[in-house]
Chains A and B, each alone.
Chain A
Amino acid sequence: MTSIITRRKLTFGAAAASTLPLLGRGASAQSPLGVGFVYVGPIGDHGYTWTHDQGRLAIEKEYGSKIKTSFLENVAEGPDAARAIRQLAQAGNQLIFTTSFGFMNPTIQVAKQFPKIHFEHATGYMRAPNVATYNARFYEGRAVIGTIAGHMSKSGQAGYVASFPIPEVVMGINAFHLAARKVNPNFKTKVVWCSTWYDPAKEADAAKALIDQGADMITQHTDSAAPLQAAEQRGVYAFGQASDMKAFAPKAHLSAIVDDWSGYYIKRVKETMDGNWKTGDVWGGIKEGFVKLAPYNDAVTPEARKAADAIRDGIASGKLHPFTGELKDQKGEVRVKAGEHASDEMLSKMDWYVDGVQA
């Protein structure tokens, strides 16, 4: 525990940028809206937390001196988080984003004590009059990269470096595989569970093991860029996770699923400023701009590009759903009937694999 406390840095985001103009203004000026963020990881992870912090920077850019942001990073999930959230609430923030699943109960708990402050909890399901939830449909991005993998793979095998078999990860694996299988009916997706979100050396070794077993496309649901580096070293292709990771693997990096929270944060700040903020649950995907694709590598063939764009646009327009039936699980049982598509409820509880996944 001590390590977390000593490592936590209370940083007033872009303090110079947002408070300096403030000092120059008269006392009559309206005080800026305080917006606080609680992060589970370091903003320097170049992954999940980094993308949330990009969202914070985006609202600063958008509203300038009208707002003042602050954040707490490396906050451990669990009871300790309540203290961090309360700290931000007491510091006068009017809108507080708590960005990890494990902050759910602490957020609800603190929100009860501060009924006038608006809270936003990412990836959770518990709401209150002053607590909203939001999440991104990452599986939509996985359908796009799966399409690229289907076109680009020579061996017809992808290696999936995964963390834990939770619904979020399982639906990602299925979405990727279904898209690849649509291109190549014999496509195989092999999964290696690392039992961790973050262990670069292990993630790299998992990627190597998958490459040894014949995979020539590596994709991942863990947090470091290590699998991409392994792919680069072995001369196969790979996809980035959470942010554009091309710098780590200039040749191997075909594209990446990029999380973009900026639009949502800008909207919610505006609603708070205007007094229109309401609780709710938003699950945004490609259409809402929550999920984006990093620019394709030059190695991506025109054919693959075209197919991937078509999937992306189809999902964005709502014409295409990555989980459209008929879908059977590995025992042959029909899970989604022909012509129908999986409901959000089914996705959020997904615990079965489609045929052809080796997990």
Chain B
Amino acid sequence: MTSAILVSIVMTLVAASTPLLLAALGELVAEKTGVLNLGVEGMMLCGAVAGFAVAFSTGSTGLGLLAAALAGMAASMVFAVLALSLAANQVATGLALTIFGIGASSLIGAGFVGRTIPRLGPVFPPALSEHPWLRMIFGHDILVYLSLALVLGVSLFLRRTRPGLILRAVGENDASAHAIGYPVIAIRYAAVAFGGALAGLGGAYFSLALTPMWAERLTAGRGWIALALVVFSAWKPGRLLLGAYLFGAVMTLELQAKAAGISWLAPEVLAMAPYLATVAVLTMMSLGRRSGRLDAPACLGKPFSAS
């Protein structure tokens, strides 16, 4: 009985962490090039509604995922044109993108409220995906494995490849990267598009896998948590994975503790737990170094114009 609960908790935890991991990983890559895109929540909602609309209309979850990635990317391009080409303030543009995403997704989704689709299923055959305890490893859907593979891929790309080095150079010193001939704006466009696609997939994880339906503001603020996770991770993909799963674990355990009737903790305290954990980790990280910069890319949030 208890081991069954444990397996179930792990399944819920992984599912709760995956959209955070996807969206945060995309944002991490964008921020590594020096672009702070606060529009994650808006891009997630665009992905969530597009994914649902296409999956519902075509009956294909695969097409839904593709549409979600494209929708997130399209939304990110709105940001890119304003913040990169026109060098608008990134913070203001990002916030505007979130507000735009909330509005656009409710408009597009209006016709899909009250509908439902089959849930995004596990990848592996039932012998593995429904096994009492092997399902902890094999019982997940494609996005879970994709997100884990992407963490590894992004980590290797940033640390071990030449394009990864160039990408980081653009974020650390845009003027120098420009001076030695790298297309700073083009690289930032690519990174923002990648971030948009992953945010779109993260959003679609809600509308296709977690709660297969569309309702306004379906992601309920997870985009902001993803943004915080990037800081938490100190812009390192491995630590981001840890952070996303830690956050997912605290969210899941909070509810499990309440359901189990652990009453010496006030529900309000449990609701605060994930955020307290974030504050605690950030504080510890800041104490560990003399500068308060937390390894942020040096050009983060600064507009660049080649002149």
A226 interface residue per 8 A CB criterion: yes
Say yes or no: A201 contacts B210, CB within 8 Å.
yes
Say yes or no: B9 contacts A193, CB within 8 Å.
no
Q: Among the interface residues B109, B110, B115, B267, which one has the most CB atoms of the partner chain A within 10 A?
A: B267
Complex alpha-carbon distance, A233 and B130, angstroms = 13
Say yes or no: A192 contacts B255, CB within 8 Å.
yes
Given contacts A44-B106, A201-B220, 15 further A-B contacts (CB under 8 A): A2-B99, A3-B102, A44-B109, A46-B114, A159-B259, A195-B268, A199-B221, A200-B218, A201-B206, A201-B222, A205-B251, A205-B255, A215-B259, A225-B213, A247-B115
Chain B residues with CB under 8 Å of chain A are 4-5, 8-9, 12, 16, 19, 98-99, 102-103, 106, 109-110, 113-116, 119, 206, 210-213, 215-222, 251-252, 255-256, 258-261, 263, 267-268, 271
Which of A75-83, A96-104, A206-214 binds B? Answer: A206-214
Closest to B207 in A: A200
- Give me 12 A-to-B residue pairs in the complex whose CB atoms sit less than 8 angstroms apart, sorted by A's number: A2-B99, A7-B102, A193-B258, A193-B267, A198-B217, A199-B221, A201-B211, A202-B220, A213-B5, A213-B260, A225-B213, A226-B211
Kindly list chain A residues whose C-beta atoms are within 8 Å of the C-beta of B12.
Answer: 205, 208-209
Contact residues on A (Cβ < 8 Å of other chain), bracket: 35 or more
Say yes or no: A229 contacts B8, CB within 8 Å.
no
Say yes or no: B216 contacts A358, CB within 8 Å.
no
Kindly list chain B residues whose C-beta atoms are within 8 Å of the C-beta of A159.
Answer: 259
Say yes or no: A212 contacts B115, CB within 8 Å.
no
A52 interface residue per 8 A CB criterion: no
Say yes or no: B215 contacts A212, CB within 8 Å.
no
Say yes or no: B211 contacts A204, CB within 8 Å.
yes
B39 to chain A, nearest CB (A): 13
Label chain B's interface by main secondary structure: helix
A62 interface residue per 8 A CB criterion: no
Closest to B19 in A: A201
Complex alpha-carbon distance, A188 and B267, angstroms = 19
A6 interface residue per 8 A CB criterion: yes
Kindly list chain A residues whose C-beta atoms are within 8 Å of the C-beta of B251.
Answer: 202, 205
A254 to chain B, nearest CB (A): 17
A351 interface residue per 8 A CB criterion: no
A63 interface residue per 8 A CB criterion: no
A45 interface residue per 8 A CB criterion: yes
Q: Among the interface residues A159, A199, A247, which one has the most CB atoms of the partner chain B within 10 A?
A: A199
A262 interface residue per 8 A CB criterion: no
Say yes or no: A205 contacts B252, CB within 8 Å.
yes
**Top 4 A-B pairs, shortest CB-CB distance:** A44-B113, A209-B259, A199-B220, A193-B267
